[in-house]
Amino acid sequence: MRLLWAILLLCLAGAAWSETVVPARTLRANTVIAPADLALRGADVPGAFSDPAALIGQETRVTLYAGRPIRPGDIGPPALVTRNQIVTLHFTSGGLRILADGRALGRGGAGDRIRVMNLSSRTTLFGTVQPDGTINVSQ
């Protein structure tokens, strides 16, 4: 019997086991993921995350339910700008650089494109959120 177990363990040691990262509890949208929020489930789900380190510090875009696999579209970088926040707008064209105050009309993280309103002219524009929380406005 021990020989059978030894053979089974040797066979299993060579096999590649895959695990899928799942929430340990239900996480509401816009929650920053911490290590205690994650668990590993012994199943291979195509398109789901298998490395918890890739998720820690990211923000949920939708509600994540305990035990269900986490997919790339479910998470993203944490929001730097929230709706109605006063932000600095940057516009650069050639040697011209204009700075203005604006109001964010959406929320977004670094690299997200959101709508903003120039407070001086009341014009609605689109801009890209920068890592420092400012908005780079393009034409």
Average pLDDT over residues 84-105: 94
The pLDDT score that the predictor gives to residue 3 is: 44
Instruction: From residue 65, give the alpha-carbon distance in Å to each of 37, 41, 111, 119.
Output: 11, 14, 27, 40
Six-digit token string for 127: 């801009």
Q: What residues form DSSP beta bridges with 86?
A: 103
**Dist CA 35 CA 50 (whole Å):** 14
Q: What is the pTM of this model?
A: 0.66
Mean pLDDT calculated for residue range 75-91: 94
**pLDDT tens-digit readout, 21-50:** 999 999 999 999 999 999 998 888 888 998
> Cα–Cα distance between 103 and 25 in angstroms, integer?
35
Among 6-15, 50-59, 128-137, where is mean pLDDT lowest? 6-15
CA 113 – CA 134 distance, rounded (Å):
12
pLDDT band at 97 (very low <50, low <70, confident <90, very high): very high
CA 4, distance to chain mean position in Å, is: 47
More confident residue, 127 or 1: 127
pLDDT for 2 equals 53
